A and B are shown apart, each in its own frame.
Chain A
Amino acid sequence: MREISVKAIEDSIAKMCIDANHYLDEDLKNCMAQHLAEEPSLVGRQMLESIQENIAIAEEGIFPLCQDTGMACVFLEIGQDVHLIDGNLEDAINEGVRRGYGDGYLRKSIVRDPLDRVNTGDNTPAYIHYEIVPGDKVTITVAPKGFGSENMSKIKMLPPAAGENGVKDFVVEVAEMAGANPCPPIVVGVGIGGTFDKAALMAKKALLKPLDKPNESPYYDAMEKELLDRINALGIGPQGFGGKTTALAVNIITAPTHIAGLPVAVNVNCHVSRHKTVVL
């Protein structure tokens, strides 16, 4: 049994909240550059260039990439041979978020109740997802999620007869309906199967996958490519001003499901697709 202090988890989360809001990963930057090289629309290229300029300014560490520094989505994979010490894990996670959003001058965007809408003032509580995995390590991912894109996300419980075409048409429909709202070019996370809630979780986790690696399944890899082509034939383009690059990538995660169901969830992210991971 390996002991890990929740204080180490808190410190990591505080740092990742700040880092994720200033520094995008290389896979996303490379993906953006590739789409810029292939963008036929002049205004589309101008918008992608402005987005690249924004990324460079944020990397100076003064201004976050976006003013919506997001709801802190925290994913923990906890090895079953780990013993967490020095306090309550959930409190430590929220303290990490509180410190990161305070020290990093990040926006506090969380309200305590969905209807009375009073701001908690420190961006807590975080959205937390725990998973118990084999081993003696803790893997922590912090993904600040903006709600301009979150609001464009959708879930549908399709009948199994809808099949592959029903799934694909729904994903493209979500991207088309979203239009200019989620700050295209977008990253599209798709969860297929499971239950109602499992599909949504898979769609969110699909946004965390690297953009430069093929899907493990050749079948779903081909579907990702086809969906990206279809979305980028809609003509919405960067910022919705017209162009090819409506989406940078489509990532799919699937799970076994019930004989009567075909859940499909589409989680939309903007071009500021932020996430940082550490292994303790």
Chain B
Amino acid sequence: MAIRISEPFTKDKFADLKAGDSVLITGTVYTARDAAHKRITEAIARGEEPPFPIQDSIIYYVGPTPPKPGRPIGSAGPTTSYRMDAYAPTLLDLGEVAMIGKGQRSEEVMQAVTRNGAVYLAAIGGAAALMARCVKSAEVIAYDDLGAEAVRKLYVEDLPVVVVLDPVGGNLYVEGREEYLNSIK
């Protein structure tokens, strides 16, 4: 059974999640890929306001396809997360509660997740049409010149994700593989 989590995304709602849990997210999430992460962290370093409040935010690593007329968004699956590894610890230390992406993370990101009681969630890579249906509204709020990589404010309903890194150090990519290999011994 999937666990439903709705905004506001305060950390207490994520504290009991375990690696491998299925979660349905409802509320506002912000999109950013590496180009946007670079600009956001540079803005923060200069003492400027980031384009959205980082505290209690969920950042979805996605660069969607253009919306067809009458649709809020095009296909919207996760991009590979390690490209954000250089920037993610800064945002986690500023209160980002969850990252949505796919693929392995660095040791520095894993430490920042447990240090801050945050989570790393995986969306289904390559199932972008399925996830597009969960996006009810989308609006570019910063870095429009980046095109698909601009920062968008999305409202999602029941966006399906799986917990990869939980707040106490669980890692689905390690545990899931071990569990499967043990099960076929």
Minimal beta-carbon separation of B82 from chain A (angstroms) = 7
Chain A residues within an 8 Å CB radius of B132? 63
- Tell whether B115 is near chain A: CB-to-CB under 8 Å: no
Chain B residues within an 8 Å CB radius of A53? 127, 130
Interface centre among B62, B64, B76, B127 (most CB of A within 10 A): B127
Give the total number of A-B pairs whose CB atoms are below 8 A apart.
162
Is the CB–CB distance between A64 and B74 below 8 Å? yes
Q: What secondary structure prevails in chain A residues at the interface with B?
A: loop
Q: What is the CA–CA distance of A51 and B127 in the complex, to the nearest angstrom?
A: 6
Other-chain contact of B127, A43, A54, A236 (Cβ < 8 Å): A54
Chain B residues within an 8 Å CB radius of A148? 79-80, 102-103, 125
Is the CB–CB distance between B79 and A180 below 8 Å? no
Q: What is the CA–CA distance of A273 and B30 in the complex, to the nearest angstrom?
A: 29
Is the CB–CB distance between A66 and B177 below 8 Å? no
- Tell whether B35 is near chain A: CB-to-CB under 8 Å: yes
Q: What is the CA–CA distance of A57 and B28 in the complex, to the nearest angstrom?
A: 24
Chain B residues within an 8 Å CB radius of A121? 147
Whether A67 touches B128, Cβ cut-off 8 Å, given contacts A235-B177, A236-B177, A242-B179, is yes
Whether A67 touches B75, Cβ cut-off 8 Å, given contacts A119-B147, A240-B103, is yes
Interface bin, chain A = 35 or more
Other-chain contact of A67, B74, B80, B176, B177 (Cβ < 8 Å): B74
Q: What is the CA–CA distance of A117 and B80 in the complex, to the nearest angstrom?
A: 18
Interface of chain A residues 222 through 240 with chain B (CB within 8 A): 234-237, 239-240
Is the CB–CB distance between A65 and B128 below 8 Å? yes
Is the CB–CB distance between A50 and B130 below 8 Å? yes
Minimal beta-carbon separation of A103 from chain B (angstroms) = 11
Q: 8 interchain pairs (CB within 8 A)?
A: A54-B127, A62-B68, A65-B126, A117-B35, A237-B177, A240-B177, A241-B176, A271-B126
**Closest 9 pairs (CB-CB, A-B):** A242-B176, A183-B125, A63-B129, A242-B180, A181-B103, A54-B127, A57-B129, A235-B181, A183-B126
Query: 15 additional contacts, CB 8 Å, given A67-B148, A105-B67, A242-B175?
Result: A62-B68, A66-B75, A67-B64, A106-B65, A107-B148, A119-B148, A146-B126, A148-B102, A148-B103, A179-B104, A235-B177, A239-B124, A240-B102, A240-B176, A242-B177
